[in-house]
């Protein structure tokens, strides 16, 4: 009965899109599409969510936690714990069991969602209007609805081999590949096998007659010319960026990645930091591409905003959102925030940074010389959580 109810609901939504001629609500001249809300009691926690977690026995653990890309939360002294794919109640019970195993005789944890993850669903391949569909994690969007909103399948679409690429939680650095026979659903009007989409899913509709991955790779996201591209021996990231027409202004430079097909049908993820490659000339990021790879550059609009903290003798101190791209460096940041005061010693700017193992280190940068000589090739890229301190001059002006 549950499957039947889903089927009729999906059919109803599909007929709403098609039969009513794309009934849209308009807001300022742009189509605004209302999305059905999902029941919060059955919704699964997703990477990118921000959660209110309360621990009655340990008040200092009660705060807002971010769910990392690997599906974990950094739960204080209890360490990193995977909670993605659990409901809020299931996650609370799991955290209670962790605390009771090592720290408390009884633990009482409650969880609610403070902010739902937001992220476009990327629609690409043989559909009439490829592009991105804005989507929030407390809404419902099915594959059939997404295809309808993207203009439907193109004439040459291989609708029997539509793929959804989705993050696999737990730190495996892979994307799950879900293959759906959309054409069969359209032919039979049986939508019981329709799929709920999630923020940051990638939907690929292949074209008939293409042998995917044979002598091609696929470029997706914020690139000048997305789509299937010819593969040649010796292709690397720099050549690929040129071949796809560069990156768009909204590209997330540090979030680029290669999705590489594996024998089991999943996609291994190879992270790329194009900011390091093009901004700091770090050639270790100039990786080779292989046949069948997907070169993906996400939008900076979807990224969880990173922050750095600018302190000391600067004209605009405080927390600053860290932009993506090769300009996210210490000297450029100080310049953008109004420069230093008359009492500053810009030759000894400190960057206090926390390493992945929790250790602290301090970098000293001569920002004054970088700005005076324009030697930005010596500028230092910033990372999330960096604390930048511009000291005061000494008594002798040094």
**Six-digit token pair at 246?**
């560069």
**Six-digit token pair at 75?**
């739960």
Least confident of 54-68, 118-132, 349-363: 349-363
pLDDT band at 349 (very low <50, low <70, confident <90, very high): very high
* Closest by CA position to 69, among listed 299, 271, 353: 271
pLDDT band at 235 (very low <50, low <70, confident <90, very high): very high
Residues in Cβ contact with 246 at an 8 Å cutoff, skipping those fewer than 6 apart: 223, 224
Distance CA 380, CA 364 (A): 10
Distance CA 160, CA 165 (A): 16
CA 44 to chain CA centroid, Å, is 18
For range 360-369, the mean pLDDT? 90
Percent of the chain with pLDDT over 70: 80
DSSP letters for 258-271: EEEE-TTS-EEEEE
**Six-digit token pair at 15?**
């007929």
Residue 21 has pLDDT above 50, yes or no: no
Q: What is the pLDDT of residue 327?
A: 67
Four-CA torsion 181, 187, 189, 190, nearest 10 degrees: -40
DSSP letters for 362-383: EEEE-HHHHHHHT-GGG--B--
Distance CA 201, CA 106 (A): 39
Per residue in 151-196, pLDDT tens?
999 988 888 989 898 876 654 556 678 889 999 998 998 888 898 8
Q: What is the pLDDT of residue 209?
A: 66
Q: What is the pLDDT of residue 210?
A: 56
Q: What are phi and psi of 393, to 5 degrees?
A: -65, 150
Question: Nearest 5°: CA angle at 192, between 188 and 197?
Answer: 115
**Six-digit token pair at 278?**
């093009």
Q: Residue 218: exposed, middle, or buried by beta-carbon count in 10 A (0-12, 13-18, 19+)?
A: buried
Per residue in 27-78, pLDDT tens?
333 333 445 566 666 788 887 788 999 998 888 888 888 887 778 888 877 7
211 vs 259, residue with greater confidence: 259
pTM: predicted TM-score of the whole model, two decimal places: 0.54
Q: What is the pLDDT of residue 358?
A: 62
The β-bridge relationship of strands 257-261 and 267-271 is antiparallel
Q: What is the pLDDT of residue 224?
A: 87
Q: Residue 101: exposed, middle, or buried by beta-carbon count in 10 A (0-12, 13-18, 19+)?
A: exposed
| β-bridge partners, 160 | none
Q: What are phi and psi of 35, to 5 degrees?
A: -110, 135
**Six-digit token pair at 32?**
């605004």
**Six-digit token pair at 194?**
């329709």
Per residue in 302-321, pLDDT tens?
555 567 889 999 998 888 87
Domains belonging to the chain, first-starting first, are 1-34+118-209 (3.10.560.10), 50-115 (3.30.1950.10), 211-301 (3.10.560.10), 306-390 (3.10.560.10)
Residue 236 has pLDDT above 70, yes or no: yes
Residue 4 has pLDDT above 70, yes or no: no
* Closest by CA position to 92, among listed 117, 119, 61, 120: 61
Asked if residues 142 and 170 have their Cβ atoms less than 8 Å apart, the reply is no
């Amino acid at each position: 009965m549950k499957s039947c109810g889903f089927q009729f609901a999906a059919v109803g939504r599909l007929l709403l899109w098609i039969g009513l001629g794309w009934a849209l609500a308009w807001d300022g001249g742009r189509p605004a599409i209302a999305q059905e809300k999902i029941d919060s009691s059955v919704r699964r926690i997703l990477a990118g969510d921000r959660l209110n977690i309360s621990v009655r026995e340990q008040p200092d653990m009660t705060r807002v936690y971010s769910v990392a890309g690997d599906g974990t939360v950094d739960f204080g002294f209890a360490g990193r714990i995977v909670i993605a794919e659990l409901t809020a109640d299931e996650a609370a019970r799991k955290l209670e069991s962790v605390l009771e195993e090592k720290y408390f005789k009884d633990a009482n944890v409650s969880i609610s969602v403070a902010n739902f993850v937001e992220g476009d669903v990327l629609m690409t391949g043989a559909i009439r209007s490829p592009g991105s569909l804005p989507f929030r994690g407390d809404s419902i969007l099915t594959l059939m609805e997404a295809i309808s909103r993207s203009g439907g399948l193109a004439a040459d679409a291989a609708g029997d081999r539509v793929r959804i690429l989705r993050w696999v939680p737990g730190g495996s650095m892979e994307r799950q590949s879900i293959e759906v026979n959309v054409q069969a659903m359209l032919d039979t009007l049986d939508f019981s096998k329709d799929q709920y989409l999630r923020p940051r899913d990638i939907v690929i509709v292949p074209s008939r007659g293409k042998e995917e991955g044979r002598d091609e790779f696929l470029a997706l996201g914020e690139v000048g010319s997305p789509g299937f591209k010819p593969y040649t021996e010796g292709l690397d990231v720099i050549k690929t960026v040129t071949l796809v027409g560069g990156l768009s202004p909204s590209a997330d430079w540090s979030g680029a990645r290669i999705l590489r097909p594996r024998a089991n049908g999943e996609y291994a993820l190879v992270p790329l930091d194009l900011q390091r490659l093009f901004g700091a000339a770090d050639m270790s990021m100039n990786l080779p591409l292989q046949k069948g790879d997907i070169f993906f550059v996400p939008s900076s609009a979807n990224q969880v905003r990173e922050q750095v903290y600018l302190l000391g003798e600067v004209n605009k101190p405080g927390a600053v959102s860290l932009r993506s791209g090769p300009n996210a460096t210490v000297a450029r940041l100080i310049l953008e925030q109004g420069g230093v005061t008359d009492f500053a010693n810009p030759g000894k700017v400190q960057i206090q940074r926390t390493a992945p193992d929790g250790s602290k280190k301090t970098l000293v940068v001569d920002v004054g010389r970088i700005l005076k000589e324009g030697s930005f090739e010596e500028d230092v890229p910033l990372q999330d959580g960096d604390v930048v301190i511009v000291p005061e001059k000494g008594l002798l002006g040094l």
